[in-house]
Structure 1
Amino acid sequence: MRRADAIQSHLEDGLNLIAALAIFFLMFVGVVQIVGRTFFDFAIYGYIDWIEQASVLFAFLGIAYAQRLGSHIGMDLTMGWRPSIRWKVELFGVVVAIGIISVLVYASFTNFLRAYSIGDSTMDIRLPTWPAKLMVPLALSLLWLRLSLQIWGYLRMIAHPDAEPIAVPKLVTIETQVQDEIAEVLGKPDTR
């Protein structure tokens, strides 16, 4: 399981880096577009179409990475509960999530196939939309794999509560979270 988690983590890290570079590139292109139009009467041909198609990179490529770290926005109502109960609640949430993601992978893949088969393109400069639409089921499939690893990891933690967590986000206690927030505000390094 540790090996599968490591391989998956490397893939997620790489895709997250691509997503970060896409954000940087889109910011750079946006500045060029604004400065060009304002001062030089120059515009990037098909700017809106390019931005629309590239947005899928930063919107979806980092989703499995965020799931691995447990950094999606959410409320942790179980922070004060015993770890054994928290692992079960987390498992339930991941099982529900994998069901939803399974439906989304199928639906987004059929959307890609439809766009590919009819030659769908953008309105302005006729960029094909299928590459961007293919990125969605690919990124969601990677998330599906991460959720599968987490189910395996949570089942392992339920069976062996004292084991080292593998392939699941670390459970943080209220005390640890408060200490981390205080250290962050004071600018002190994490001592754990």
Structure 2
Amino acid sequence: MLKKLDRLLYWSTGIMAAMALFSLMWLTLVDVIGRKFFDHSVPGGLEITEVLMVIVIFAALPLVSWRNEHVVFDSFDGYIPEWLRSVQARLVNLVCAGAFGFLGRLMAMRAERFEEYGDTTVHLQLSIAPVAWLMAGLLVVTALIHLVFVFAPHVRESAGGHPGAAT
């Protein structure tokens, strides 16, 4: 079950983030070549870059949380008893779940407003609401992952690893 969930996150959010990053790379290359040799940038390049950056960041959140690949400060872990580290981990995951859930709700409210007002980007006139809904959904998924670690902390040890570990 855990390997399937790891694989699902890798093939959904992981690939989404990788494709957005790859697209960002090509967009930047084409934009720089266009500016340097043709005196024209990609029309709406800044807007596309912003959307792709949102996808890279928010699509990576669930996978980073699932695999416990956050940056941590663990200088005192050697001095803290195991039972207290377990309590600390659950507490931190509970706070993270609450924070990500709260941010997901705020983003959903913002997405509703974007949809209601018909907000679009300035140059390309792309609707902003779908991007905001994607952000909200990915934040909620991340919150749910942290909730799993609150109520089933033993899952964390089995969840980590690199993409090849899930095969």
TM-score (norm 2): 0.85
Higher mean C-alpha deviation, range 63-72 or range 104-113: 63-72
After superposition, the C-alpha distances for 1:55-105 in whole angstroms (9 at most, x for unaligned) are 211010011111122211221244213322211110011111111122111
**Partner of residue 120, structure 1:** 119
Q: How many residues align?
A: 156
Pairwise CA RMSD of aligned residues?
1.7
**Partner of residue 139, structure 2:** 140
Q: Does 1:69 align with 2:67?
A: yes
Q: Does 1:23 align with 2:31?
A: no
Cα distance between partner residues in 1 of 2:30 and 2:122: 22
**Partner of residue 152, structure 2:** 153
Match of 2:45 among 29, 44, 47: 47
CA contact (8 A) 1:8 1:146 kept: no
CA contact (8 A) 2:98 2:143 kept: no
Higher mean C-alpha deviation, range 14-23 or range 111-120: 14-23
Q: Does 1:12 align with 2:9?
A: yes
Cα distance between partner residues in 1 of 2:50 and 2:132: 11
**Partner of residue 31, structure 2:** 33
CA contact (8 A) 1:101 1:140 kept: yes
Cα distance between partner residues in 1 of 2:4 and 2:120: 35
Q: Which runs of 4+ in 1 moved over 6 A?
A: none
**Partner of residue 163, structure 2:** none
Cα distance between partner residues in 2 of 1:10 and 1:116: 32
SS for the counterpart of 2:15 is helix
Q: Percent identity?
A: 21
Q: Quick check: which one's helix share is greater?
A: 2
Cα distance between partner residues in 2 of 1:169 and 1:108: 31
SS for the counterpart of 1:62 is helix
Cα distance between partner residues in 2 of 1:78 and 1:86: 10
CA contact (8 A) 2:31 2:41 kept: yes
Matched to 2:98, the amino acid is G
1:42 deviation in Å? 3.5
Cα distance between partner residues in 1 of 2:40 and 2:89: 52
1:41 deviation in Å? 2.8
Q: 1:152 to 1:6 in 2, by over 3 A?
A: farther
Cα distance between partner residues in 1 of 2:130 and 2:8: 19
